[in-house]
Structure 1
Amino acid sequence: MEENFSNYFDQTGKVAREYLETRLDLVKLQAAGKLSKALGLFFSITMAFLLFFFVIVFLGMVVGFWIGEMTGSFTIGFSCAAGLFVLLLVVLLVFRKSLIQRPLSNLLIAEMVEEMEEREQETPLND
């Protein structure tokens, strides 16, 4: 009889260890999935900003050369282009919440809500 109890406890301990190891592996995989989504979002936003930066730089050069040819002085042309960039910077600083912060936070919230909805669809509630 004592042998049955010790065998039962050994088996229960083994099953509990296997369950905990499996649960730990599941948590690690879920964390890796969330991290990969977050990194993907981060890199896509970074690439979009870099592309935007290069477009702005080349447009600034085009505007500088164009105004320089129109006025006959590249100094005036690039000074006007720099003035436009300063004006753009001031506009971005004044309206940064509505132009940058809110859209980025809305994007992040939308991603999180989508993740939560996917998780709810994967694991239906037991009624």
Structure 2
Amino acid sequence: MENIAEKTFAELKEDISTYVELRLELLKLNTYERVAKTMAVFSYGIVLILLAFFTILFLFLALGFFLGELLGSIALGFVLVVGMYLLLFGIIIFFKKKITSKVMNEIIIAMMSKDEKDNEETADPAGHIDGRTTPGA
């Protein structure tokens, strides 16, 4: 009788240690996936920012030459463009909190979107998630 109990506890201990190892591996893989997704969103944002930067740069260069011809002085045209840049810079500084909170929210959404997909996949049509009834279902 004692031998059966020891064998059962040994199997239980082995099953628990295997379970813990698998959960740690799953946590590690989920972390890798979130970091990769965040880096992908970050890289995409960098590319868009660079493209926007060069687009704005060339538009302002063209505007500087256009205003310079219109006003008869290329230097005056570029002074006006510098004024527009300073105005844009001031607007960005004024809305710093809104811009940073928007960026942080987008990063959080990108990192948490995996969790929402998992919850949607485990929900059944009756509104149950993992055996629990969701509010409003």
TM-score (normalizing by structure 1):
0.79
* Structure 1, gaps ≥5 residues long: none
Counterpart-to-counterpart distance in 2, 1:92 and 1:101? 10
Counterpart-to-counterpart distance in 2, 1:102 and 1:23? 33
Correspondence list, 1:41-52, <5 A: 41-52=41-52
Deviation at 1:7, TM superposition (A): 2.1
Tell me what 2:25 maps to. 25
Which amino acid in 2 is paired with 1:121? E
Counterpart-to-counterpart distance in 2, 1:85 and 1:35? 35
Counterpart-to-counterpart distance in 2, 1:43 and 1:49? 10
Tell me what 2:70 maps to. 70
Tell me what 1:104 maps to. 103
Deviation at 1:45, TM superposition (A): 1.8
Deviation at 1:116, TM superposition (A): 3.6
Deviation at 1:26, TM superposition (A): 0.9
Which amino acid in 1 is paired with 2:25? D
Q: Give yes or no for the alignment of 1:126 onto 2:125.
A: no
* Structure 2, gaps ≥5 residues long: 123-128, 133-137
* Greater helix proportion: 1
TM-score (normalizing by structure 2):
0.74
Q: Deviations over 1:55-78 (max 9, x none)?
A: 111111111111222333322221
Q: How many aligned positions are there? A: 126
Calculate the aligned-residue CA RMSD, in Å. 2.4
Correspondence list, 1:2-21, <5 A: 2-21=2-21
Q: Give yes or no for the alignment of 1:84 onto 2:89.
A: no
Which amino acid in 2 is paired with 1:42? F
Counterpart-to-counterpart distance in 2, 1:110 and 1:24? 24
Higher relative contact order (CA 8 A, sep 6+): 2
Counterpart-to-counterpart distance in 2, 1:112 and 1:30? 10
Which amino acid in 2 is paired with 1:75? A
